[in-house]
Structure 1
């Protein structure tokens, strides 16, 4: 039968910052950050501190997210029995050490609210599931050292270097969290492997998104205009705004101020996590204004009512148009090239039109304007070029 005390499971989950006693020297410590851990205070019989007083010591029993209330009571009782018999729990206690997979799962749950979307959260744990759990998942967290980490990283270090790099970061986080909970000690083996340059250096060639030459855009846009599919409307809008796929497909009518000619994309949909204001040109308005009659929540509605187009809709359209050498994201590069080669707008205006950060953190702290009106003029000029009837070259086969 489990021991009883003052605390309950509900209290453990909801008590505020501070030290909360359960009785018998067991305490739940809640940090200001919300982290919860167990400690037990015991007096070791016959042992004294440097001042000659009875040796009273606090011992960590693990985080409350890993160690349950009943488990903490059982461990506290074990520590008190040892102390009463003159044994110092620091050297005599047997702790139940969780395995790597258990700690990783808890870290994943704890961090879910901090990820930009569910997809990123799934990618985080899936990398560990595919490459770490089969090798070290069931190992006690305190027994994982450099050889065990290398078992996970070495097979994919050169062939899947970016995946391996992310895997290393995630293993490091799990081991750091385990250390903070008292389940590990010493240097993180991932850090040691990195500092010692155990793994070979891998030169990764940067893969840029395939982009259409800016001279070919008017012909491509003219072709799009002949198509009635919603994906064509979305692709036209993406091309004109220089926005990313997710920003366009998830656009909602509530984000538009038609009187001010402004589309405000919220921070949670932006890669940089900052609100981005996009000036709406006449050509953009001509695309979306007729769509208001659908009375949907989303500007570019998919097959189901009040849901956006699929992420693949615009890409599949490009394939049907035989423009397979082009990506949606590549139109941002196309706009950047056109603006640099054909306009006199300052670099910061062009970069801000693409929602890029400009300058150092200090410079951004003082230059807080998003240069909206200057960007409005730039986007108007881009819209006129894209929708012009002059065609300099075919878009087919352009790269």
Structure 2
């Protein structure tokens, strides 16, 4: 047998124990096989080969890294066998990228797996569904069936360019989700090299888009007392919910999903649990006599939902208050806009600090460090502000 026709499976420098315990970095086994340990603890195999007779763009011998799979799935011996197969191809002048028989999942398969694995972490099922829906609509038709290892910068640009200027916010979400899928693929050993989303972002390949801030259309604060007087003559549940929304300056979902156990009428407090807040933190709303006057008659309904809709113990539809505005011929105004109305009114008052006004809207104030030291939610100051607001509205 001539020298060079047989390539034995080497014993190498690594052991099973080292594969499990080595820290972050690239650890060589010999003959181009490496164990890569990420800072996250993820472990994957790669092999570096030089393809005989092939040159890169600089005219130098074509040296390429190939992923062989994650170390939790591919054993040390299996990695050595796969590395040997790649070296044989390269020695024969065959580029393993186009000839390997190793099963490679497509982009869509990895994306669906990421979606399922992260379902328990979504804030709610709707957010989880939105995450995968953007990829289904924009990414899967173009790169979904490609082997995930082949999704590089041109393929990512193929997805992003058509929507980058017309649907910029959506495009940014799609880019971030593609990045996540490729990061996961890399951690599992199916992807090598720099994430193309990072490369595109850092090189500013896509055109800069100047966005206009979209504000919810709001009623002028001087018009609120007259509007509220008209609203208070209506007996529909949507009217009661909208009155309460105006007085509390709360978000639509916070009001509609309110339950009686959240209210303490002795302490005059409505405590909204963290899971229902946008910022994920519990928020205390000081109650005023005007707010309680809306709630008291609703207790007789004995419903689990404070603002009950068509179905027993179920809240109103999230469109109920907006539809009421349209029936009242209030055009171009959103329910959420009443939060801006409250904020504009507060800004006109010389005795109200920005901090108190923002915290009344459950907005975060200051840097992370400042918030870490600011233990108080300024409840009593906010109680005084809400009392003034309710007195202005219900005059």
TM over 0.5: yes
Task: Work out which of the residue numbers 122, 134, 142 in structure 1 matches 2:141.
Answer: 134
- Residue 360 of structure 1 corresponds to which residue in structure 2? 367
Q: Identify if the C-alpha distance between structure 1 residues 63 and 170 changes in structure 2 by more than 3 Å, giving closer, same or farther.
A: farther
Q: How far does residue 324 in structure 1 lie from its aligned partner after superposition?
A: 2.0
1:207 deviation in Å?
0.7
Could you tell me whether the CA contact under 8 Å between 2:68 and 2:79 is conserved in 1?
no
Question: 2:69, 2:190 within 8 Å by CA — same for their partners in 1?
Answer: no
SS in 2 for 1:132: helix
Q: Give, in angstroms, the shift of residue 81 of structure 1.
A: 9.5
Aligned position for 1:175: 182
The equivalent residue for 1:297 is 304
Note if contact 2:44-2:189 (Cα within 8 Å) is conserved in structure 1. no
Contact 2:164 2:171 in 1 (8 A): yes
Aligned to 1:166: 173
Distance in 2 of aligned mates of 1:134 and 1:207: 30
CA–CA distance in structure 2, aligned partners of residues 91 and 163 of structure 1: 43
Any conservation in 2 of the 1:60–1:182 contact (CA below 8 Å)?
A: yes
Paired residues of 1:37 and 1:60 also in contact (CA < 8 A): no
Q: Which of the numbers 102, 110, 114 marks the counterpart of 1:107?
A: 114
Structure 1 residue 272 corresponds to structure 2 residue 272: no
Partner in structure 2 of residue 206 of structure 1 = 213
Matching residue within 61, 84, 88 for 1:88: 84
- SS at the partner of 1:342? coil
Aligned equivalents of 1:269 and 1:63: distance in 2? 40
Report the Cα offset of residue 110 of structure 1.
Answer: 1.5
| Distance in 2 separating the partners of 1:257 and 1:147 | 58
Equivalent position to 2:291, from 284, 290, 306: 284
How many residues are paired up?
329
Q: Which residue of the partner structure matches residue 79 of structure 1?
A: 78
Partner Cα distance (2:350, 2:125) in 1: 40
Q: Tell me, yes or no, if structure 1 residue 148 matches structure 2 residue 155.
A: yes
How far apart, CA to CA, are the structure 2 residues paired with 1:146 and 1:80?
28
Deviation at 1:97, TM superposition (A): 1.0
Give me the whole-angstrom Cα distance separating, in 2, the residues matched to 1:241 and 1:201: 39
Per the alignment, do residues 151 and 123 of structure 1 end up closer, same or farther by CA in structure 2, a change over 3 Å counting?
same
Cα offset, 1:61, TM superposition: 3.9
**For the aligned residues, what is the CA RMSD?**
2.6
What TM-score do the two structures reach when normalised by structure 1? 0.77
Q: Unpaired segments of 5 or more residues in structure 2? A: 1-19, 22-37, 46-66, 89-99
Distance in structure 2 (CA, Å) of the matches to 1:60 and 1:77: 11
Alpha carbons of 1:254 and 1:90: their partners in 2 closer, same or farther (altered >3 Å)?
A: farther
Name the CA shift for 1:60/1:292 in 2 (closer, same or farther; >3 Å). farther
From 242, 248, 254, the counterpart of 2:255: 248
Q: Conserved in 2, the CA contact under 8 Å of 1:231 and 1:313?
A: yes
Q: Which residue of 2 aligns with 1:260?
A: 267
What does the per-residue CA deviation read over 1:144-196, in whole Å, with 9 as the maximum and x for residues that have no partner? 00110011001111111111111111111111111111110110111111111
Contact conserved, 1:79 with 1:89, CA < 8 A, in 2?
Answer: no
Cα 1:201/1:36, change in 2 over 3 Å: closer
Distance change in 2, residues 1:336/1:80 (3 Å): closer
Structure 2 residue 331 is the aligned partner of structure 1 residue 324: yes
Cα deviation, 1:316-356, whole Å, max 9, x if unaligned, reads 11111111211111111100110110351211111100001
**Do residues 348 (structure 1) and 355 (structure 2) align?**
yes
Alpha-carbon distance, 1:63 to partner: 8.2
